[in-house]
């Protein structure tokens, strides 16, 4: 059983995905990136919201180029979108070359060895199959060195396959004034100039929402499509996910009593506490909880913002609902953790993490629905 199968009556929470917001976000990013084209990054099960629903919605919204991390993701995506251009970011694993041909997928070649293996495979089958080239400009993660990229450019006649994209990845685009951005831009311009007839791509979500100089021919937004906030100086687009957690029980806590594991939170007054049916096994970070030394995240119940108190457990968390009228909350009701003014960025900030991690971690045990 997966979260897609759990009936509402049996679930501890509801995860709602707004596909119209997803489509609107993609179209807004496309508008801002023009005249550059806009791809859609759908790795990690479309950032956790569900590839099988997200990918067709993005295709209907106009996306034609898609990026995933792994070949297994690309296979699934190809079954959903027979005509899409699909790039696999994590490179060409040994022995997988034939699968790329069978599924009409495009590997993003990130090392000289991968370039050589793809070239040899194309020579063996007598067919030049398109691929992308990833060149590292400062991330030091994946990609050829600039010197290796020069070698590829000088030997293109012997490659035996067409390059359809040359790309790099920004390391600090969420900090517009970081000096590494300008250095990466300068280096990538020089690399792109080596391949004047090949599309060039540098910008992720943060880059796509910033200076058009970073856009080149194709931008590759991910988190922004899903309603996250990739940079602090730009407002997020429309929220895509809403998370509501079921109230399991209501308790009265006396002044001086503690709540949760470790007795980390002490009630400073007689309090009413709602116990919600979700925890870190459901993607709620433990750091979203609170102690006597630091506040935690919030939930909205009956229109009130209520603080989470105590540590997050595997399956449960506690919320102080003292300010909510007793008639306005009952076991079986739902509290909102994402939505009603509470954003991914809010929960991430309280949890000392990023909205990417919040989104991609949500939900194996929720009742999931798409609207």
Q: Is residue 8 within 8 Å of residue 368, measured between CB atoms?
A: no
- Does residue 103 carry a pLDDT above 90? yes
CA atoms within 13 A on the CB side of 203: 29
If asked whether residues 218 and 271 sit together in one domain, one would say: no
Q: Which two tokens stand for residue 283?
A: 């993607």
Residue, of 208 and 232, whose pLDDT is higher: 208
If asked whether residues 281 and 366 sit together in one domain, one would say: yes
125: β partners? none
Catalytic one among 26, 100, 226, 261? 261
If asked whether residues 202 and 277 sit together in one domain, one would say: no
Residue, of 364 and 242, whose pLDDT is higher: 242
pLDDT average, residue stretch 140-153: 96
Query: Residue 12 falls within a domain, yes or no?
Result: no
Q: Which band of pLDDT confidence, cut at 50, 70 and 90, is reported for residue 1?
A: very low
Q: Which two tokens stand for residue 70?
A: 């792994």
Q: Which two tokens stand for residue 213?
A: 């100089």
Q: Residue 110 — φ and ψ, nearest 5°?
A: -115, 15
If asked whether residues 201 and 252 sit together in one domain, one would say: no
pLDDT average, residue stretch 251-278: 96
- Does residue 2 carry a pLDDT above 80? no
DSSP 146: H
pLDDT average, residue stretch 46-75: 97
If asked whether residues 128 and 246 sit together in one domain, one would say: no
Please give the Cα distance from 349 to 334 (Å, whole number).
23
- Does residue 64 carry a pLDDT above 80? yes
- Does residue 86 carry a pLDDT above 50? yes
If asked whether residues 178 and 268 sit together in one domain, one would say: no
Q: Which domain holds residue 127?
A: 19-226
CA atoms within 13 A on the CB side of 224: 31
pLDDT average, residue stretch 160-179: 96
- Of 257, 292, 291, nearest to 272 by C-alpha is 257
Q: In Å, what is the CA distance from 297 to each residue of 161, 228, 252, 354?
A: 52, 17, 21, 14
- Position 4 scores a pLDDT of 58
Catalytic one among 26, 43, 47, 100? 43
pLDDT average, residue stretch 78-93: 97
If asked whether residues 246 and 176 sit together in one domain, one would say: no
If asked whether residues 54 and 134 sit together in one domain, one would say: yes
If asked whether residues 196 and 291 sit together in one domain, one would say: no
Say what percent of the chain tops pLDDT 90: 95
Q: Is residue 277 within 8 Å of residue 12, measured between CB atoms?
A: yes
Q: At what angle do helices 71-80 and 51-60 cross, to 10 degrees?
A: 60
Please give the Cα distance from 86 to 207 (Å, whole number).
21
If asked whether residues 215 and 339 sit together in one domain, one would say: no
pLDDT average, residue stretch 49-66: 97
Q: Is residue 111 within 8 Å of residue 91, measured between CB atoms?
A: yes
Please give the Cα distance from 172 to 344 (Å, whole number).
20
In this structure, what CATH number is given to the domain that contains residue 71?
3.20.20.10
Please give the Cα distance from 190 to 132 (Å, whole number).
17
pLDDT average, residue stretch 230-242: 91
- Does residue 235 carry a pLDDT above 80? yes
Q: Among 2-16, 134-148, 163-177, which is the least confidently predicted range?
A: 2-16
232 is catalytic: no
pLDDT tens, residue by residue, 269-286: 999 999 999 999 999 999
- Of 57, 58, 90, nearest to 73 by C-alpha is 90
Q: Which band of pLDDT confidence, cut at 50, 70 and 90, is reported for residue 147?
A: very high
Task: Using the Cα atoms of residue 8, residue 361, residue 73 and residue 168 in order, give the sign of their dihedral.
Answer: positive
pLDDT, averaged across the chain: 96
pLDDT tens, residue by residue, 315-354: 999 999 999 999 999 999 999 999 999 999 999 999 999 9
If asked whether residues 25 and 164 sit together in one domain, one would say: yes
- Does residue 5 carry a pLDDT above 80? no
Please give the Cα distance from 362 to 200 (Å, whole number).
33
């Amino acid at each position: 059983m997966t979260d897609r199968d759990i009936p509402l009556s049996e679930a501890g929470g509801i995860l709602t995905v707004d596909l119209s917001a997803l489509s609107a976000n993609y179209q807004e990013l496309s508008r801002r990136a023009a005249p550059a084209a806009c791809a859609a990054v759908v790795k990690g099960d479309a950032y956790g919201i569900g590839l099988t629903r997200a990918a067709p919605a993005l295709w209907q919204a106009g996306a034609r180029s898609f990026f995933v991390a792994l070949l297994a993701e690309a296979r699934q995506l190809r079954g959903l979108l027979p005509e899409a251009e699909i790039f696999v970011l994590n490179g060409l694993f040994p022995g997988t070359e034939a699968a790329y041909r069978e599924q009409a997928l495009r590997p993003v070649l990130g090392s000289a060895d991968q370039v050589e293996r793809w070239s040899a495979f194309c020579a063996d089958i007598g067919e030049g199959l398109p691929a992308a080239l990833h060149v590292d400009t400062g991330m030091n993660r994946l990609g050829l060195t600039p010197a290796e990229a020069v070698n590829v450019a000088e030997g293109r006649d012997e490659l035996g396959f067409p390059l359809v994209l040359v790309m790099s990845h920004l390391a600090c685009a969420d900090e517009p004034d970081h000096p590494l951005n300008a250095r990466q831009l300068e280096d990538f311009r020089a690399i792109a100039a080596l391949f004047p007839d090949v599309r060039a791509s540098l910008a992720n979500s943060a880059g796509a929402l910033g200076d058009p100089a970073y856009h080149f021919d194709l931008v590759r937004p991910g988190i922004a499509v899903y309603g996250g906030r990739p940079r602090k100086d730009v407002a997020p687009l429309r929220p895509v996910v809403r998370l509501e957690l079921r109230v399991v029980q209501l308790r009265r806590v006396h002044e001086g009593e503690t709540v949760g594991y470790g007795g980390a939170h002490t009630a400073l007054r007689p309090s009413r506490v709602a116990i919600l049916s979700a925890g870190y096994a459901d993607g709620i970070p433990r750091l979203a909880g609170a102690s006597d030394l630091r506040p935690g995240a919030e939930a909205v119940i009956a229109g009130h913002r209520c603080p989470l108190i105590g540590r997050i457990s595997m399956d449960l968390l506690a919320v102080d609902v003292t300010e909510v009228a007793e008639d306005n909350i009952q076991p079986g009701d739902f509290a909102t953790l994402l939505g009603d003014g509470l954003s991914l960025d809010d929960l991430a900030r309280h949890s000392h993490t990023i909205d990417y991690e919040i989104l991609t971690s949500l939900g194996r045990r929720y009742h999931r629905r798409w609207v």
